[in-house]
Structure 1
Amino acid sequence: MLDALTLVTGVAALLLAAWCGWAAYRDQPTKDWHFIGMAVVSLLALVQLVVGIVQLARGEEPDQGTTIFVAYLLGAFACVP
C-alpha cells in the first residue's frame, strides 16, 4: 500500500465527516458540495483498492494475509457509498 495515499484518504474522510457533521449541527441540508466531497473520498478509496490489487497481482504478500488485506480494501471502498 502507498502510505501517503492511505494518509490522504483518511484525512479527506475525516474532513468530510467534520464538514457534514458541522452542517448537520447547523441544521443545514445536504448540498451538492457534500456529494462532491463524498465522490472525492470514494475516488481516493477506489485508487487505493486498485493499487492494492495491482500489488497483489505483482506477487507481493501482505503482512496479515491476503484475505484480511482484500477485506480491508473492499471495506474501505464501501464505506462512503
Structure 2
Amino acid sequence: MNSLVDNVDGGDLAAAWLELSRLVELRPITNEAEYDRTVTLMNHVLDIMGENEQHPLAGLLELLALMVSSYDKEHYSIEEL
C-alpha cells in the first residue's frame, strides 16, 4: 500500500474529518440543496484564495469543483446536437 496511507492514525483522521465536517459539511452532492451549499462554499473558497493558485485551500477548491462538475453533468447535461 501507499506509505502515506499506512502511516495515517485512524483517530487523527477521524478527528480531522469531524472538524472539517463541522465547518463545511463536506459530503457528496445528492440533491439541489446540497448542490447550492457546495457551490456557495466553492465561491467562498475562491474569494478567500483570490488569485493565489498556491493557496493552502487549492486542493479543497479542486475537490469542490469536481463535485459540482459531476453533479452538473448528471443533472444538467446539454444534449449534443
Name the TM tier (shorter chain): 0.3 to 0.5
- Give the structure, 1 or 2, with the largest relative contact order (CA under 8 Å, sep 6 or more): 1
TM-score, normalised by the number of residues in structure 2: 0.44
Point out the structure with the larger helix share.
Answer: 1
**TM-score normalized with structure 1 length:** 0.44
